[in-house]
Copies of this chain bind each other. A is one copy, B any other.
């Protein structure tokens, strides 16, 4: 099952067999088909380790995600896996659970695994040690979801999406609009979305409310619930992601509010499950699979062309809008 056996059977040298597989153009069509037939009959499949040893390319991509518990990343990974598969790349996966400490260790493991390139979702590109470390290694990498001038990113316009949403909510008559987010330090996206909220409110001459920041705790939700029982409660809640939105709906319902009559709730991400909920979840959608696919595509192209990946290769994909029962119809 090695190249030598194929060569023997085809009556050629190993070099020719190798060429047939790597550069068919430069070999006689006749010999080529002879070799191919021999290879097929023997069920020959090239040994990737040997090839890697020689070429120093192993066709493995490293993927670092915050968690798989949030369907956004699961969906993205699906896109990554798909595209990687068609391109013949394997992936090694690691999750950080949104912890900066785990991030560093996780990245180190990917590096040690000898990956050719990296797809990363970091908590904050501006402060991430992972990115410094990665840049040292000269390995090509692309950030998914993160948005930062200095890096190659596949993302959506987080700021603009929320900014525009505020405008639409206002147009629909909402004045008191609140924002709920996960832990801000764990996610630059959340920060950008919050910024979009504040500036969006100001642009509408509305005063932004203090942002609800929900750490992953029961307690925080109860606070939100309390606040929603005040007379000055908002009439619409913008959430920095769909999971937060689902939790917010829970808090609101426990506070005795009806969705969307008393309170409109909008999420961000467009996870598939949102459609099946009751009420169905209104959300700013991201093309999650496509984000994953593009990451792989960019990386693989850079790898095969041997050109370095630059910030200018960043792609900003369009976000969308999924209407849902958790929010009354919005103009536009």
Give the size range of A's interface with the partner: 35 or more
Tell me, yes or no, whether A69 is within 8 Å of chain B by CB: yes
Q: Which of the segments A5-13, A170-178, A244-252 contacts the partner chain? A: A244-252
**With known contacts A49-B52, A250-B278, A276-B246, A69–B75 Cβ distance under 8 A:** yes
Tell me, yes or no, whether A95 is within 8 Å of chain B by CB: yes
Q: Given B114, B246, B278, which contacts A273 in the complex, CB threshold below 8 Å?
A: B246
Taking the closest CB of chain B, its distance from the CB of A113, in whole angstroms, is 6
Chain A interface main SS type: helix
Tell me, yes or no, whether A58 is within 8 Å of chain B by CB: yes
A48 — which chain B residues lie within 8 A by C-beta? 58, 113-114
Tell me, yes or no, whether A195 is within 8 Å of chain B by CB: no
A272 — which chain B residues lie within 8 A by C-beta? 69
Tell me, yes or no, whether A186 is within 8 Å of chain B by CB: no
A280 — which chain B residues lie within 8 A by C-beta? 250
Contact with B along A178-210 (1 / 0, CB 8 A): 000000000000000000000000000000000
When the two chains form their complex, are residues A78 and B68 in contact, meaning their CB atoms are under 8 A apart?
yes
Chain A to chain B contacts (Cβ below 8 Å), 13 pairs? A47-B53, A49-B52, A49-B53, A67-B78, A69-B74, A69-B78, A69-B272, A78-B95, A81-B94, A85-B94, A91-B92, A250-B278, A250-B280
